Amino acid sequence: MTRSHGTASLKRKATDIDRMLTKAYGRKVVELEDDPLDTLVETILSQNTTDRNSHRAFQALKKAYPRWGDLMGEDADKVAKVIRSGGLAGIKASRILGALEFINRERGVLNLDFLRDMSPQDAEAWLAQMKGVGPKTRSIVLLFSLGMPAFPVDTHIHRVTKRIGLIGPRVSREQAQTDLAALVPRSEFFNYHINLIEHGRTVCQARKPRCPMCQISRYCDYFVRTAKAES
């Protein structure tokens, strides 16, 4: 099979899986109501922790500092105490303060709305200048708050797409963002992203995937290998 035929086959597979997941979990549509700076800070807080813990940390931070400008010049240790429920509080406090300082220094105001006027490539490149703002964080800001094409890959998506066979077994999360974005139509990025996460949480779980109840097992390389091994 040639590379072009292989890619075409993967695209068909990705499309079929998208259709099945949408049927199972519903169509998700991004509403773009979140402020991109809020999304940036909350995504930094979400690194290496659960959604529940990161949301608690974000709410605590907003309560202690109602305006992002209130954080300017603040001591990192003090901020870390506020966001301790999110884990890795010292690292995240430094990253958040560093990001805010960078934005204020470069733009003179704590606001990321100007990114809306950039191309997706330029917007991502601008965000990439900030320490601790990696590919996943940048993609979430682009997709969730700016409505730009990006395919964030979290733990669930990375695991599920490896098992299914949409990406290779040794593909990193960063490379997976590029690979999956090439397989999925831009109009489906948000819907596919959310439904893959839901599938990973409820069915294709890390320790013991629930293959008998999986809606997309017919497309899954892992399921086919397991079925053959047990036959």
Given a contact cutoff of 8 angstroms between Cβ atoms, the answer to whether 215 and 23 are in contact is: yes
- Is 136 among the catalytic positions? yes
* Active-site residue, from 23, 81, 131, 136: 136
Query: What is the 8-class DSSP label of residue 132?
Result: T
Distance CA 157, CA 211 (A): 16
Distance CA 76, CA 192 (A): 37
- The contacts found for 178-185 with CB under 8 angstroms, 24 or more apart, are 180/14, 180/151, 180/153, 181/149, 181/150, 181/151, 182/7, 183/7, 183/10, 183/11, 183/14, 184/14, 184/18, 184/151, 185/15
Active site residues: 136
